[in-house]
Amino acid sequence: MKMMMRGSSSRGSSMAHNHWTSISSHPPFSDLSDINNNKCLPGQPLSSSTKINSKPKTLPREHIDRYKRGDTHPVSALYQLSQVLQFQLDMKETVTTAGITGFYFAFCAVIDGVQYKTGMGITKKEARAKAAELALEELIASLENDGIRSDVSAGPPPLPVREKDSTIPEVHSGRAVIERKNPIKDQVPNVVMEMFTKLMDSYPEFSGCGGTVAAFVMLSPAGCEVVALGTGSSNTKSSPAPTGRILHDSHAVVTVRRSLMRFLYRNLLLFFSKNSALEEKSVFQQDQTTKLLSLKNHFTLHLYLSQLPKGAAQIPSQLRLNPLSISAWEVNNQIGLHAVVEGKVFSKFSSSYEQMGSHVVSMSATDKIMQWQVLGFQGALLSHFIEPVYVSSIFIGNGSCSDTRGMEMAVNQRVDGITSALPLYYCVYRPHISLVSSAVPPDAHPSQKSLSLNWSHGDLLVEVVNALDGKSTEDSPFKSSPALASRLCKAAMLSRFNLVAKEAQREELLTAVTYREAKMMAKPYQEAKSVLKSYLERKGYGQWVEKPPISDHFSM
């Protein structure tokens, strides 16, 4: 993971080769005209009756020859090859390379998840053409080296892989797909299981907390390491209060995200310690131009989830595979925003949700992940110090889950097209989403469903929270105070924020009296948040639920 800047960049090609803003070749799912026009849903394999799966009338050799003669535009030629060879193609907007600044646009081709060289131009059309040209150059060279078969009905030839990783063929939807072997995909479940087992062995009395597990894993030159872990599947019944000491949402992905924030605060204190030995241990480095911090080079962040998150990610398979058999309303009802009330999930368009009135409402875990992949996982307060934090991969360790298409649509495709409206540094970051082996031991029994466990790198003890009242339990190994306020609560975050602001000598931040005031001072973050919410509503996905402002009007 890098913390990414949209537009021109002084970070060179390494940034461009690891991060891109998303301009997908697929239209947003909310454009229901695709259903009426018999098109497939984004990310969905075409039906057997679709032309692309029949034997192509034109062989790849003829496509390539026409392109080489200049009879076919590079972008058209690349899309033609994607149809004949049946690979997935996206043209994605990214950042300029090699320190080039000014009014340039940049695009890259992504073929079956493999990113090719960045093309630049003074217009988007020119940049796309250059990116397609660069991809074709490598793709054609590889195909010609391997030999282009005169009969492609037997399946596509292996696509080139830029990295030197080995490839393993898998069969999906009746066609061979050559995927880049991703070592992190194998490492993540192992390190998460190792950490989860270690914590459960240390606290066997809380082994029933592990029904739903989420973890952030950081990959660095030193190796793969869990930096935050959380469990939980409930939210509180308590009403919002102006204290900042109640956790309203204790679902695993929310818990682990707040644990990640504690990890980031800890590393900010190391960076600003004025001690070179401690600063070296921090995961951060400083951009001398912006003075904001970003993760050190070659550090990436990955998210593990033991289950598909609640909400649109759990869209039923038949809804995706048979779009012509359902109504437009039903599609929007499934892919739109969802709210969680007392652990139950409601579509924002359902009549049941309308009747929930006075209850404490949280957005679904799927919607929150989508939001964090645009605004960053760091939140408003941390954005005063660091660039947006995005995850490079999301791994689902659920054996009963057969595909991640719902997750792809909900997290990635609902926000396609928003990038150009976002302020500097913010973008649509599309993580690689895939299924992995489970990191939860098969003998784990989620008997303590109302309890939520949290831990982050550097913690000596775990904290156990009663999700129903939003406070630490009496027998929690870690307790911050007799009042049992969780170390993940807003008041605790504000305390860390003030401490970092003091260490960083950011006197202007210390003038904020309340938690809300400190958040609203992060103007680029608030602008990006406003753009996202209005975009979702305009696209017909529903209105984002805001917690009552009273919950943020507290001071230390």
| Cα–Cα nearest to 285, from 386, 216, 375, 426 | 386
SS3 (DSSP) at 152:
coil
Q: What is the arithmetic mean of pLDDT over 256-283?
A: 96
DSSP letter (8 states) at residue 124: H
Q: What is the arithmetic mean of pLDDT over 160-179?
A: 30
For CATH 3.30.160.20, list the domain ranges present in the chain: 58-143
Res. 145 pLDDT band, cuts 50 70 90 = low
| Cα–Cα nearest to 331, from 153, 167, 147, 539 | 539
**pTM of model > 0.75:** no
Q: How far apart are CA 433 and CA 282, in angstroms?
A: 28
pLDDT in tens, 71-106: 788 888 888 888 778 788 888 887 665 444 455 678
Alpha carbon of residue 188 to chain centroid: 16
Query: What average pLDDT is seen over the chain?
Result: 76
Q: What is the arithmetic mean of pLDDT over 531-543?
A: 92
Residue 375: which residues within 8 A CB-CB, separation 6 or more? Answer: 388, 426, 525, 528, 529, 532
pLDDT in tens, 272-291: 998 999 999 999 999 777 78
Architecture of the domain whose range is 58-143: 2-Layer Sandwich (3.30)
